[in-house]
Amino acid sequence: MQGRLERFLQDLGAARDLDGLTAAVRTLRDIFGVDHVVYHSVNAAGGQYAALTYSDEWVRRYIDLDYARIDPVVQGCFKRFNPVDWKRLDWSGKAQRAFLAEAIAHGVGRQGFSVPIRGPNGQFALFTVSDNRSDEDWAAYTEAHVRDLILVAHYVNQKALEIERGTDAVAMRALSPREIDALTLIAMGYSRGQAAESLSISEHTLRVYIESARFKLGAMNTTHAVARAMSSGMLVI
């Protein structure tokens, strides 16, 4: 497999668009010998960009219903920095279990392994392999291939960024006035309680603004949100 993988990484350079990347992902499926390979990038604005081997039907459904919001793989990996086996994610919610059942019905494997990747400007992507082996076989497989998976994940992401840059402009959603108010006070060093008092609103309401701003900015936490808002000029302190 090593030889094929190296050849693949070289051939990857030829990809010029999403179709090229999708073809590359299909090749990867063969090389890795798994049921599915998925590259899935989610930008700050919530825009998605993917090259994968799932059925078109499942992809459409996933996008239409905005499943990224409940997908434990996306949500879980967004909080982590290490590759993770799907089994270690939190599938306990009702929505999550329903999502899992539906995914499997659409041909997604019972086993999965996802590598989170982060790029500049808060870019976040997932590189995933999925299969239907037994727990034991899958554990052995992932252990044996984790290095290759991480390597390929970064190559593919690099390529995707290169392709994406040609077209997209990652437009972050504008913040509402109150969100700017809240974020400004927080950036000025106020605690949530102080900021809420300054704005004459409840602390909870202030929290809602901060959370909403975090979401719009694709930020992991409040500090991140402030940093992104400042670097994009939405906030001037």
Partner DNA sequence: TTTCAACTCCCCCGAAATGGCGAGGCGTGC
Partner DNA sequence: GCACGCCTCGCCATTTCGGGGGAGTTGAAA
Query: How many whole angstroms separate alpha carbon 198 and alpha carbon 53?
Result: 52
- Residue (16 or 118) nearer to a copy of itself, CB: 118
CB 126, min distance to a copy of itself, A = 15
Q: Does 146 bind a copy of itself (CB under 8 A)?
A: no
CB 221, min distance to a copy of itself, A = 6
Chain positions 72 to 101 lying near a copy of itself, rule: CB under 8 A, are 79-82
- Residue 234's nearest CA partner among 219, 79, 99, 105 is 219
CB 55, min distance to a copy of itself, A = 31
Sequence-ordered strand ranges (E) for the chain? 36-42, 48-52, 84-85, 111-118, 124-131
Chain positions 199 to 218 lying near a copy of itself, rule: CB under 8 A, are 199-200
CB 93, min distance to DNA, A = 6
SS3 106: coil
CB 191, min distance to DNA, A = 3
Q: Does 202 bind DNA (CB under 7 A)?
A: yes
Contact partner at residue 209 from DNA, a copy of itself, none, CB < 5 to 8 Å by partner kind: DNA
Contact partner at residue 230 from a copy of itself, DNA, none, CB < 5 to 8 Å by partner kind: a copy of itself
Q: Which distant-in-sequence residues (6+ apart) come within 8 Å of 116 by Cβ?
A: 77, 78, 80, 81, 82, 83, 84, 124, 125, 126
Q: Tell me the window of 56-64, 130-138, 145-153, 209-217 that interacts with DNA (CB under 7 A).
A: 209-217
Q: Does 61 bind a copy of itself (CB under 8 A)?
A: no
Terminal-residue alpha carbon distance, the chain: 54
SS3 string, 110-166, reads CEEEEEEEECHHHCEEEEEEEECCCHHHHHHHHHHHHHHHHHHHHHHHHHHHHHHHH
SS3 40: strand
Contact partner at residue 237 from DNA, a copy of itself, none, CB < 5 to 8 Å by partner kind: a copy of itself
Query: How many whole angstroms separate alpha carbon 77 and alpha carbon 36?
Result: 18
HSE, CB side, 13 Å, CA atoms: give it for residue 76: 20
Residues that bind DNA (CB under 7 A): 79, 93, 174, 176-179, 186, 191-193, 199, 201-205, 207-212, 214, 220-223
Residues that bind a copy of itself (CB under 8 A): 79-82, 118, 122, 147, 150, 154, 177, 180-181, 184-191, 194, 197-200, 219-224, 226-228, 230-231, 233, 235-237
